[in-house]
Structure 1
Amino acid sequence: MRVGRVLGRKLGRRRVQGIRFRLGLAMALGLLPILLLGVIQTEAEFRKQEQERRLDLQLAAERSASDAKARISSTVVLLQALTPEGGGFFCEARLTALAARMEGIASLARYSATGAPVCASRSESEAQTKQNVSADTWHQRLKRGEDVVMQRSADGESLIVAVRWERPMGAFQGAMAATVPLSVLQPDIRDPALPAGSEAALTDGAGNILIATDPRPFALKRAAEANGWTDRARADAVVMFEARDAQGRRHVYGGAPLAGQDVFVLLSAPAPGLLSWARLNPFGTLLLPLAAWLTAFAAVMLLSERIVVRWLDYLERVAAIYARGRFSIRPVQAEHAPAEIRTLARTLGQLGETITRRDRDILDALEEKDALLREIHHRVKNNLQIISSLLSMQQRAVTDLGARAALGDTRQRITALAQIYRVLYQSEDIREADADTFLRELVGQLIAGEAVRGPLVTTSIEADPLIIDPDKLAPLALWLVEAVSNAQKHAFAGRGGELKVRFKVDGDTSVLEVEDDGPGLDDAVEAGVGRTLMMAFAKQLRGEARIIPAPGGGSIARLTFVTPEARDAAQVREVAAFRLSGTPPQA
């Protein structure tokens, strides 16, 4: 499972899922039939080479035992030539002379149909005259009709070669036999075609070793591994098999008939690893297609990187810049890319130009809209000031004190709203305003308006800068008007004093406080219209308003509300930065 997870993470990586890997994979799949064809051809070459190896092994084995084969063949020819002659008086002398002159023949002998010795060379005459061979296997085989028979002698040091002796009508008359010492049949392994460490041996028809250059490789650990190879060699001429010797070393064996059906040559060579040396493949037929396949795969990976992927990465970087709002970049380096990439780059550049032109048109429209909104705000401010002036005139004409106070409060509220529109059309962006600047100007205007009609009131303002939209600024301004008005009416009436305004922004929460040094809380303030309006404005800001005693005397009107933010302030600043950008840079 851990391997599966690791493999899944690797396959999920961008490098594995990219176009380069997919092109390489597609190419690899496309060339796979060629590789499979190479494998099939290699397999066919394996089979062909195996046949050639079998033939080479047979020829090498025959060459290794060529002397033994020549001696056996010459012996058979000699015996066939001597067979027609009868025993006669001079039989022993002739056989003795021939045995002396023929190198590699220890003795010659003639036997009757009943296995009795007729005559023999002197080296064996005494023993042969007393020995009947009718019970010997080789004599019985000749009697059954075989022409040539070879068999190991009873002492194990010679090979008996015998031919059939027939009458003119074909009836079995006896046998002509020669004894050949095994020492003269020793195979020669100096053939350069033989693998290093090869050994050769002659065996009888049952696979028993007659003579060998080194008997150890032919002493098999499991005789069953040979599996009757001599019987298969009689049918197939060449037999190959693998087996382990008594020391456990693995060898490759190749056997073939050497003389008739009774003598075989067996070749042994060390097995190279797990494969038989006769199955060593022609590496070129497999490695060359594999190397071509790997080379093509590497070439596709490299060329796709140089021709396609790096240009796609370049265009991706340009597109990422476009995604961040910088449409002045142009992919000019792609002019050296392939035609398809150049077309894509030109399309991307045209897209950037189109968006740039559209943004300019939009910005021009926004500027025109801003100018109109500034004009509207200016006119609204003027109209509100006219209304405030009319109320001021009406206030002076009214003699009732309550009515005059009500008109004064209304005039202050209208003045606060006019101040909002004045700040908006004078600000850099008409969609937002700085709370610090607005609060200072509004408080100053409210205090200055009452300064000519009453005692001196000093003010101190501490305000954190906060950019907010007009919808949130209006209830904030009206709440401040009510708080300052209450302080002027109840705290500073007839005495003056000090007014402190504090505006603090603490993350998601903001606090606006108006503190006076008057006599303290008044029940009329708690139940008045101003108090009701303050609570209503606080709800509009999703906050709460309270009037609490000040630590040093007087009272504090506190408004706690959720910190308002300018509508699309980040987008407004980004557009402004784009409008101030100079000559478009080139990517």
Structure 2
Amino acid sequence: MPAETRTTGRSPARRFGWRPDRLQGIRFRLGLAMAAALLPIFILSLIQTQADFRQQAEARRVELQLAAERSSASTKARLDSTQVLLRALSPAALGPYCTPRLSALVDDLEGYEGLYRVSPTGQAVCASGRDEGFRSGVAPAGQSGWFERLRAGEDMVVMRAPVDSDYPPALIVAIRAERPMGRFDGAMAAVIPLTTLQPDTRDPALPQGSETALTDGAGRLLTASDASAFQLSGGGDVAGWVERARNDGAAVFEARDSRGQRRDYAGAALAGGDLYVLISAPSPGLLSWARLNPIGALLLPLGAWLTAFAAVMLLSERLFIRWLDYLERVAAIYAKGRFSVRPIQAMNAPSEIRVMARTLDEMAEAITVRDRSLTDSLAEKDALMREIHHRVKNNLQIISSLLSMQQRAVADASAKAALGDTRQRIS
């Protein structure tokens, strides 16, 4: 181990305040590995989510078409009942009391603006009493399109009444009247306000945000619960959708409204080719579908990923990180020269951590034994040095004594002085 590491217990980078990037840690790498392992599951989940979205979007369009057909059936029943009423009134609409009779029916029956008996020349010979007069297009009706169609042989005609500022928008429902030999004998007509025929948007079977409308045979808008839903982006409207539906073979189409919202449209016929019901509902985009299906589309995959990530973080902390921190603290104590501390707590750690702790313990034991051996060797060397010093001192003392004896035995003064000088040097 380098000297500077032994004295500080930390690497130079740690001593200067820099710590390894956490992105290189065990937990991050385990989390990255877990994310990579879950990647195929996320891909399959996205594929399944897209498939489910397409399937439910198609099912939703089918439901919208069925809702349009249900709405058209209820409205068509109203038109059929009007046709039955007109046929029942046709023979009795020529008597002297036909006007009060038709007026009483309009007052008693809900949803009728007026009832009329029209002659073969287009004149109203009997009508429900109205002080303001006849609605435009009903009488005289000699040049009206619906009257000409009845004269040409059609049994029933449904068409929008001409726009009249004195009256609300309405439909003219007319049937052909015939004499016993089949000769054209005029028509029976009823005027029905469009508001009474429009499907109810409060129907719980309709998708949320649905709007309803009635169109004529050319696809032109007659009435709508919200006209902006049937105004398409670019300033146009849904005119012509009937023709497009015939060409495409389906009465369901998708478009953007004037507000830029993508919507689904579904239509159904009410009375032959004269009147259609059209229903519009917001298209469920992928994100909105995910909001409608949060568990399968979002929460379940996200919950699985978060659970796996939390498990990685918690288990890595519980199983590895805290034990590595513990061993790092023990190693720092060893670096300061204190080998009495042993990693006993690591005996409860995983086997790999226990192996590392056992290795640190064996290293500390080996260093302790080595230090004890070195200390004993130094003590023995010190004792030997003291013994050698003592013996040398004794030998020099003997030599000094011998020189002292020789000095006393010498009579020559110069020799005696040389022996004394030598003895002094030895001392």
Q: TM-score range by the shorter chain?
A: 0.5 to 0.7
The match for 2:340 among 306, 328, 344 is 328
Q: Does 1:152 align with 2:164?
A: no
Q: In the TM superposition, what is the alpha-carbon distance from 1:305 to its structure 2 partner? A: 0.8
The match for 2:25 among 9, 15, 18 is 18
Q: Which has the higher contact order (CA 8 A, sep 6+)?
A: 2
Structure 1 residues 180 and 50: alpha-carbon distance in aligned structure 2, compared to 1, 3 A threshold? farther
Q: Distance in 2 between matches of 1:149 and 1:12?
A: 88
Secondary structure of the 1:203 match is strand
CA contact (8 A) 1:99 1:121 kept: no
Partner of 1:131: 142
Q: Distance in 2 between matches of 1:386 and 1:227?
A: 140
CA contact (8 A) 2:160 2:171 kept: yes
Structure 1 residues 266 and 64: alpha-carbon distance in aligned structure 2, compared to 1, 3 A threshold? same
The match for 1:288 among 300, 305, 311 is 300
The aligned amino acid for 2:41 is I
RMSD across aligned positions (CA):
5.6
Unaligned ranges ≥5, structure 1: 1-10, 166-172, 416-448, 450-587
Q: Deviations over 1:458-506 (max 9, x none)?
A: xxxxxxxxxxxxxxxxxxxxxxxxxxxxxxxxxxxxxxxxxxxxxxxxx
Matches within 5 A, 1:87-486: 93=94, 122-123=126-127, 131-132=142-143, 136=145, 151-155=159-163, 157-160=169-172, 180-181=191-192, 182-194=194-206, 198-215=210-227, 218=230, 222-224=234-236, 229-234=241-246, 235-244=249-258, 252=263, 254-259=265-270, 260=272, 262-267=274-279, 280-285=291-296, 286-373=298-385
The aligned amino acid for 1:239 is F
Q: Distance in 2 between matches of 1:218 and 1:63?
A: 20
Partner of 1:35: 42
Q: Distance in 2 between matches of 1:58 and 1:371?
A: 111
TM-score, length basis structure 1 = 0.48
Structure 1 residues 334 and 127: alpha-carbon distance in aligned structure 2, compared to 1, 3 A threshold? closer
Q: In the TM superposition, what is the alpha-carbon distance from 1:178 to its structure 2 partner? A: 5.6
CA contact (8 A) 2:231 2:257 kept: no
Unaligned ranges ≥5, structure 2: 1-17, 128-133, 178-183
Structure 1 residues 320 and 127: alpha-carbon distance in aligned structure 2, compared to 1, 3 A threshold? closer
CA contact (8 A) 1:204 1:264 kept: yes
Q: In the TM superposition, what is the alpha-carbon distance from 1:290 to its structure 2 partner? A: 0.4
Q: In the TM superposition, what is the alpha-carbon distance from 1:302 to its structure 2 partner? A: 1.0
Q: In the TM superposition, what is the alpha-carbon distance from 1:313 to its structure 2 partner? A: 1.2
Q: In the TM superposition, what is the alpha-carbon distance from 1:17 to its structure 2 partner? A: 2.5
Q: In the TM superposition, what is the alpha-carbon distance from 1:297 to its structure 2 partner? A: 0.7
CA contact (8 A) 1:334 1:345 kept: yes
Pair member with larger Rg:
1
Partner of 1:534: none
Secondary structure of the 2:199 match is coil
Q: In the TM superposition, what is the alpha-carbon distance from 1:74 to its structure 2 partner? A: 5.4
The match for 1:51 among 58, 62, 78 is 58
Q: In the TM superposition, what is the alpha-carbon distance from 1:32 to its structure 2 partner? A: 2.7
Q: In the TM superposition, what is the alpha-carbon distance from 1:269 to its structure 2 partner? A: 6.1
**Aligned length, in residue pairs:** 372
Q: Distance in 2 between matches of 1:184 and 1:48?
A: 36
Structure 1 residues 253 and 47: alpha-carbon distance in aligned structure 2, compared to 1, 3 A threshold? closer
Structure 1 residues 328 and 364: alpha-carbon distance in aligned structure 2, compared to 1, 3 A threshold? same
Structure 1 residues 189 and 340: alpha-carbon distance in aligned structure 2, compared to 1, 3 A threshold? same
Q: In the TM superposition, what is the alpha-carbon distance from 1:348 to its structure 2 partner? A: 2.5
Q: Distance in 2 between matches of 1:279 and 1:257?
A: 30
Question: Could you tell me the percent identity over the aligned residues?
Answer: 51
CA contact (8 A) 1:117 1:132 kept: no
Partner of 1:537: none
Q: In the TM superposition, what is the alpha-carbon distance from 1:325 to its structure 2 partner? A: 2.6
Q: Distance in 2 between matches of 1:117 and 1:380?
A: 163
Secondary structure of the 1:236 match is coil
Q: Does 1:71 align with 2:78?
A: yes
CA contact (8 A) 2:220 2:239 kept: no
Q: In the TM superposition, what is the alpha-carbon distance from 1:281 to its structure 2 partner? A: 3.6
Q: Distance in 2 between matches of 1:137 and 1:391?
A: 165
CA contact (8 A) 2:160 2:172 kept: yes
Moved more, 200-209 or 96-105: 96-105
Partner of 2:180: none
Moved more, 309-318 or 216-225: 216-225
The aligned amino acid for 1:71 is R
CA contact (8 A) 2:215 2:277 kept: yes
Structure 1 residues 280 and 318: alpha-carbon distance in aligned structure 2, compared to 1, 3 A threshold? closer
Structure 1 residues 344 and 13: alpha-carbon distance in aligned structure 2, compared to 1, 3 A threshold? closer
Q: Distance in 2 between matches of 1:138 and 1:334?
A: 102
Partner of 2:131: none
TM-score, length basis structure 2 = 0.63
CA contact (8 A) 1:64 1:191 kept: no
Q: Distance in 2 between matches of 1:18 and 1:35?
A: 25
Q: In the TM superposition, what is the alpha-carbon distance from 1:329 to its structure 2 partner? A: 2.0
